[in-house]
A and B are shown apart, each in its own frame.
Chain A
Amino acid sequence: MFRIMEKRLLAPAVHQLVVEAPLVARRARPGNFVIVRTNETGERIPLTIADYDPETGTVMLVVQEVGKSTMDIGMMEAGDSFTDVAGPLGQATPIKKVGTIVGVAGGIGVAPLLPQIKLHKEIGNHVITIVGARTRDLLILKDETEQASHEVIFATDDGSFGYHGFVTGALEELIKQGRQIDEVTAIGPVRMMQATCNLTRKHNIPTLVSLNAVMVDGTGMCGCCRVTVGGETKFSCVDGPDFDGHKVDFDELASRQAFFRDEENLARELAEQKRGGCKCHEK
């Protein structure tokens, strides 16, 4: 169980994994996530299900190496197994026929966005996808995005590919062109989702965001992932992870995400020392 069937490098330090988890694959829906643990001393981390296939009993996960646990996953190969994969967790994204939806993804946020826009297209929405990355090499899953959308705008911060600027700039242009936009779904770093919501609020476009709070169990028993939405406390693992972006307290979310930063840095440094140092922090 939970064997890695395939592993592919999508961009530097970004991995695509196809993992055997038949019970999860059978009931997964767009927006659901899993909690995984790599080994017996590992922590539980949430990863969004980027694709699922009940036939083969597998789920697809996209993992960016940002700390100890994701670096551990980066070291795993096809044939290795996760100790634990629990799911599908969270509420499925509410996906309705609305007309035109714009999917906005930052960085690896495009992976969790994919199953959502696929379903949007399937049920007859016109899908425009905006995918942003720092630079050309970090744009991932381009073909899959093009297949799942009617129109795609790629954006890079440095202008090395597509639109030169942030995803919000590209979205603003669409709005200025007078394109009909009935709904926006934004997935990516907190500040990118916040900026997207600030823009769409001005134009009264309903916007859904997928929040990435710190989680432990992922089943609603601890409240570590609590967020403030419309003035109320919600547990993002069971009430979300998707929420009305215009009601989310993003500053609080960003602050809570940073709570364990010292510990995270320590764990990563120790792991790097053990592996003889990494190449990214050479002095």
Chain B
Amino acid sequence: MPREIVDRVEMPKQSPEDRRSNFREVALGLDSELAVREAKRCIQCKTKPCTKGCPVEVEIPEFIALMAQGKFREADAKIKEKNSLPAICGRVCPQESQCESLCTLGKKFKPVAVGSLERFAADWTRENSPESGCEKTNTDGPALSLCTAADGIERPSARIAVIGSGPAGLTCAAELALMGYGVDIFESLHETGGVLRYGIPEFRLPKTIVNQEVDYVRSLGVRIFTNVLVGTTLDLNEMLAKGEYQAAFIGTGAGLPYFLEIPGENLNGVYSANEFLTRVNLMKAYRFPEYDTPVKIGKRVTVVGAGNVAMDAARTSLRLGADDVKIVYRRSRTEMPARLEEIENAEEEGVQMFLLTNPVRIVSDGKGGVGAMECIKMELGEPDASGRRRPVPVPGSEFTMDVDTVIVAVGQGPNPLLARATQGLALNRKGNIEVRDEYGATSIPGVWAGGDIVTGAATVISAMGAGKRAARGIDIWLRSQS
């Protein structure tokens, strides 16, 4: 007998009027009653397509079954078998194109809200654990605790260096620690988390959550050293040659901002999205002068680009007091790379979309600042290499926009610092690290890589998947060496 399918539980949010003037989290999370109700919608199908849609293969029906019985702690433990950072993934994964897109229920009804449930399990467990509470994460983690191998297989006692503490590095480190290896993470900034810290704003991912997830990784025995740039402060080949580390994982991300390369781009008031978001998120410039780092925002802000970074920059501008925030994008709405939910959130908050529009030059206000931006209208031509229709300028359609701040969010490339300083590390034409197998082995024996430094800018969860696969590759290799 078919059972009755109740409506999907939608996550409560702060109202657009309230949230556009504060940095508190927009999505408020489920309560236990709603979480149980949503968990009960899962039909526990045998085929489990959702799990195949998850880049780290979380056993989704299994954890949801536990949630349906109110066993939230057990559900969290189930998720953590595969995913070390569920409070983050539950918040920032594009579930609509991953697990939820394959949900059997979703064929006739709305899919189970897997992301909301994952987030609830992680948040509930954290809030209801005795040692909960946010400790500042900083340098020099605790001495390595004796971790037992999770699967009882004896492993060589090796020490592994993980370069970068973003989602790829944190996941790889957690996996290796669970296998029983000694792991040291090296982070160039003064805080951990990579893009989770400096890129994604507080209103989408509270930094206390990042702290707590990093503390969890540390509790597995992983040591974290901040202010260390491998490539300048330390030399990777030297670390391996001296035998300090038996293997390494590079997860340094795509942190080099691209600019538009149009006239006027070095005027005051033109920021890369990386600079703008780093000032606000990492340096907490939104709390200036309580915090020392300033950020300056005009009344009329234009963000160039239409990915998640552009949405974050636009919504952050509103929260800093801009009256008028525009997204300028050279293609149409269908091609916008940002998550649909983030585009909707931005529009609800009052961000205006100027589509099929491309900046041509930024005009000075005569005092070294931005006065206006000249744009041209575009139309879509033939598909390009990426399969998206190529935007072509419409002759004579130039017009001028009054703006005082321009934020450039047209993508990031690989930072060349590490590669430049590491002999023998093969790169592809774009400067990304070349990997030789599905685990992410690089041209240097004993060195793996994964995440944005390999693929170019992608998602948090795909970086985590790469970190996880590299941990497997490192384990296999180390056991073959001993």
Which residues of A does B touch, CB under 8 Å? 1, 23-24, 27, 37, 40-44, 68-69, 83-89, 216-217, 219-224, 226-228, 233, 238, 252, 255-256, 258-260, 263-264, 266-267, 270
Q: What is the CB-to-nearest-CB distance from B65 to chain A, in angstroms, rounded to a whole number?
A: 43
Q: Is there contact, CB below 8 Å, between A41 and B292?
A: yes
Which residues of B does A touch, CB under 8 Å? 136, 139, 188-190, 226-229, 232-235, 255-257, 259, 261, 265-266, 268-269, 271-272, 274-275, 278-279, 283-284, 288-294, 296, 368, 415-417
> Can you name 16 A-B residue pairings with CB atoms under 8 Å?
A23-B234, A24-B233, A27-B232, A41-B290, A43-B291, A86-B229, A216-B283, A219-B229, A221-B255, A221-B256, A222-B272, A222-B278, A224-B271, A227-B266, A255-B368, A258-B268
| Residues from chain A with Cβ under 8 Å of B188 in the complex | 86, 217, 219
Counting from the closest, the 8 A-B pairs by CB-CB distance are A263-B294, A222-B275, A255-B368, A221-B255, A43-B292, A84-B190, A43-B293, A86-B227
Tell me the nearest residue of chain B to A225, going by C-beta. Answer: B275
Taken together as a complex, chains A and B put the C-alpha atoms of A44 and B226 apart, in Å, by 14
Please report whether the interface of chain A is mostly helix, strand, loop or mixed according to DSSP. Answer: mixed
Tell me the nearest residue of chain B to A34, going by C-beta. Answer: B227
Q: Is there contact, CB below 8 Å, between A233 and B266?
A: yes
Q: Is there contact, CB below 8 Å, between B293 and A84?
A: no
Q: Is there contact, CB below 8 Å, between B190 and A83?
A: yes
- Chain A CB within 10 A, most for which of B189, B265, B272: B189
| Residues from chain B with Cβ under 8 Å of A217 in the complex | 188-189, 278
Q: Is there contact, CB below 8 Å, between B292 and A238?
A: no
Taken together as a complex, chains A and B put the C-alpha atoms of A177 and B207 apart, in Å, by 63
Q: Is there contact, CB below 8 Å, between A219 and B417?
A: yes
Q: Is there contact, CB below 8 Å, between B232 and A87?
A: yes
Q: Is there contact, CB below 8 Å, between A69 and B292?
A: yes
Q: Is there contact, CB below 8 Å, between A223 and B274?
A: yes
Q: Is there contact, CB below 8 Å, between B259 and A259?
A: no
Given contacts A83-B190, A87-B232, contact A221 B292 (CB under 8 A): no
Q: What is the CB-to-nearest-CB distance from B178 to chain A, in angstroms, rounded to a whole number?
A: 29
| Residues from chain B with Cβ under 8 Å of A222 in the complex | 257, 272, 274-275, 278
- Residue from A89, A226, A267 in contact with B294 in the complex, judged by beta carbons closer than 8 Å: A267
Q: Is there contact, CB below 8 Å, between A266 and B266?
A: no
- Cross-chain pair count, CB within 8 angstroms: 118
Q: Is there contact, CB below 8 Å, between A260 and B275?
A: no
Tell me the nearest residue of chain B to A259, going by C-beta. Answer: B268
Tell me the nearest residue of chain A to B368, going by C-beta. Answer: A255
Q: Is there contact, CB below 8 Å, between B293 and A223?
A: no
| Residues from chain A with Cβ under 8 Å of B136 in the complex | 40
Q: Is there contact, CB below 8 Å, between A44 and B190?
A: yes
Taken together as a complex, chains A and B put the C-alpha atoms of A233 and B265 apart, in Å, by 9
Taken together as a complex, chains A and B put the C-alpha atoms of A84 and B229 apart, in Å, by 13
Q: Is there contact, CB below 8 Å, between B232 and A88?
A: yes
Given contacts A222-B278, A223-B257, A233-B259, contact A68 B233 (CB under 8 A): no
| Residues from chain B with Cβ under 8 Å of A68 in the complex | 292
A23-B233, A220-B415, A220-B417 are known; give 15 further A-B pairs, CB within 8 A: A23-B228, A43-B283, A43-B292, A85-B227, A87-B232, A219-B415, A220-B416, A221-B257, A221-B415, A223-B257, A228-B266, A233-B259, A233-B266, A260-B296, A263-B288
Taken together as a complex, chains A and B put the C-alpha atoms of A255 and B456 apart, in Å, by 34
Q: Is there contact, CB below 8 Å, between B259 and A44?
A: no
| Residues from chain B with Cβ under 8 Å of A88 in the complex | 232-233
Taken together as a complex, chains A and B put the C-alpha atoms of A173 and B373 apart, in Å, by 47
| Residues from chain A with Cβ under 8 Å of B296 in the complex | 259-260, 263
Taken together as a complex, chains A and B put the C-alpha atoms of A267 and B275 apart, in Å, by 20
Q: Is there contact, CB below 8 Å, between B293 and A27?
A: no
| Residues from chain A with Cβ under 8 Å of B190 in the complex | 37, 44, 83-84, 86
Taken together as a complex, chains A and B put the C-alpha atoms of A238 and B231 apart, in Å, by 12
Tell me the nearest residue of chain A to B187, going by C-beta. Answer: A86
Q: What is the CB-to-nearest-CB distance from B387 to chain A, in angstroms, rounded to a whole number?
A: 29
Q: What is the CB-to-nearest-CB distance from B255 to chain A, in angstroms, rounded to a whole number?
A: 4
Q: What is the CB-to-nearest-CB distance from B303 to chain A, in angstroms, rounded to a whole number?
A: 15
| Residues from chain A with Cβ under 8 Å of B226 in the complex | 84
- Chain B CB within 10 A, most for which of A69, A219, A258: A219
